Amino acid sequence: MTDTLPAFPLDHLAFRGAPDAPALRIKDKVYSYQELNHRIGRLAAILRAQDFTVGDRIATWLPKTELACLMPLAAVRAGLVHVPINPLLKPAQVRHILSDSGARGLLTAKLRAGQLDEGDVPDGTIELDEAELLATIDQPGEVLSPLPAETDTDGLAAILYTSGSTGRPKGVMLSHANLSIGAVSVARYLKLVADDVTLAVLPLSFDYGQNQLLSTWQAGGCVAPLDYLTPRDVIKACAKHGVTTLAAVPPLWVQLAEQAWPEEATGAMRRLTNSGGALTPSLVKALRGIFGPKTDIYAMYGLTEAFRSTYLDPSLIDANPTSMGKAIPFAEIMVVTKDGNEAQPEEHGELVHAGPLVAQGYWKDAERTALRYKPAPAFSRYGGMAVWSGDTVWRDKDGLLYFVGRDDAMIKTSGNRVSPTEVEEAAIESGLVAEACALGRKDDRLGEAIVLFVRANGAANEAALAAHMKAALPNFMQPAAYVWLEEFPKNANGKLDRDGLKDRLAA
């Protein structure tokens, strides 16, 4: 037996807090939990009045506006499946998601809708205008009640499309149970409480970004969504709202750590959380220097196919800054060797995730689903279907996990398998570069040669960097070339766009 949790319908998060407690800050408006529940019910009723059938998909292509925040709960209350689309995606990618998901509805703003050509929106799609819906919500009318507690929580609630530079992302199917248990899990290990204020800077189409809403509401706290242009905007918002929780991905943390933070922006901060890539010792040190020991720093690892997998207890991060930690509540994390056995301490293996956070597979893609979703290993406690991540990790004697690399990202050079992460961390620890990305370039003699893309931390000094790398790494891990960039390309979720750099190498 394992620790299990009865799931609940996703829209029940709308009344997890005290009725008069603040739940959502949209610019200068603050909605209480009572108002949040009412507005979700009004929006659900408006959606129900459209020509939809239960189970239809409805897409949202908006920045972090009020409706973008309400839709994850309003759509399911109306019997629909929500398909959030990252507002940074281009029309070709939007067209693919609308077509692939079979969306019957698209909620967006007139200005955004004007970017789409006639062929971008499939025939028969019900197009809903954000401004018109907001005006209707504010009028008296029907309010749909929350879903009954006995709702089938294995029912599909959302399809989240993973980002991709090719414009052909794949949709991950998430149930009420996946999302509601995920909210409980994260609220629990982050120790969120009712007076917390979360600054939501990550895209709501990103599983980590959407959970900023859901886990905060599970704890009865308040969310302040922010679409930022510069790191300074984030800092100003932290000061304005008395933010206690800030989540980001490594490229944004690097930018934030380079800024000056006034006391009014750091004074209330209780926790920083990171996913979408590993923190480095120097970055942890920089954040500690800004926020001090009173602020917990959470390193996390996750994948959309199973939402979130591990976190590192913040009391351990200063001594173990590169660790992924251990399993989050309600997740079973295994390290599996190539022969299917459980890896021993310090033995490399594939990270496999089992339990109630495992998603339902890829939408309309049985072939790719079968590659990623396979029966759990025989030694699994949960059993059932598991996500085989394709990521190589290892555990230390204390059970802490460490990331080695993705199998398909490992660089094969001179007969050796090299983790790009290890090369990147060595470069960053030199103090000479702020960001780094190691890739393999085809080489007749070596198989692959290591090319290291770097952004200088000050003036570029390749000779000093090369000398540091020679002292830090063995010969077979030395970069054959350095490429200095003024700015690293990022994908729609703010992560480093490795595919874009691969394209540059191939050009």
pLDDT at 1: 40
Burial of 89 (0-12, 13-18, 19+ CB in 10 A): buried
End-of-domain residue from the set 195, 224, 245: 195
pLDDT at 165: 37
Is 474 contained in some domain?
yes
- Residue type at 46 in one-letter notation: I
pLDDT at 167: 39
Condensed to tens digits (0 to 9), the pLDDT of residues 11-68 reads 999 999 999 999 999 988 999 999 999 999 999 999 999 999 999 999 999 999 999 9
Is 287 contained in some domain?
no
pLDDT at 347: 97
- Within 190-314, where are the H helices? 207-218, 231-241, 250-257, 263-266, 281-291
Rg (CA), the chain: 23
Instruction: Report the CATH number at residue 469.
Output: 3.30.300.30
pLDDT at 338: 94
End-of-domain residue from the set 142, 174, 195: 195
Phi, psi (deg, nearest 5) at residue 78: -85, 0
What range does the domain containing 155 cover?
10-195
pLDDT at 180: 97
pLDDT at 4: 63
Domain count of the chain? 2
pLDDT at 506: 80
Q: Which two tokens stand for residue 504?
A: 């540059």
Condensed to tens digits (0 to 9), the pLDDT of residues 375-407 reads 999 999 999 999 999 999 999 999 999 998 877
pLDDT at 2: 54
**Which stretches of the chain drop beneath a pLDDT of 50?**
1, 164-167
pLDDT at 126: 97
Instruction: Name residues whose C-beta falls within 8 Å of residue 189's C-beta, 6 or more positions apart in sequence.
Output: 298, 311, 328, 329
Instruction: Report the CATH number at residue 69.
Output: 3.40.50.980
Is 240 contained in some domain?
no
pLDDT at 200: 98
Q: What is the mean pLDDT of the chain?
A: 93
Q: Closest by alpha carbon to 391, among 273, 306, 463, 298?
A: 306
Task: Give whole-number Cα distances, 190 to 182, 223, 244, 400, 448, in Å.
Answer: 12, 15, 11, 18, 41
Is 246 contained in some domain?
no
How many residues are there in the chain? 507
Place of tokens 């290993």: 377
End-of-domain residue from the set 172, 195, 218: 195
| Percent of the chain as helix, strand, coil, to the nearest 5 | 35, 25, 40
Condensed to tens digits (0 to 9), the pLDDT of residues 251-310 reads 899 899 999 999 999 999 999 999 877 888 989 999 999 999 999 999 999 888 998 999
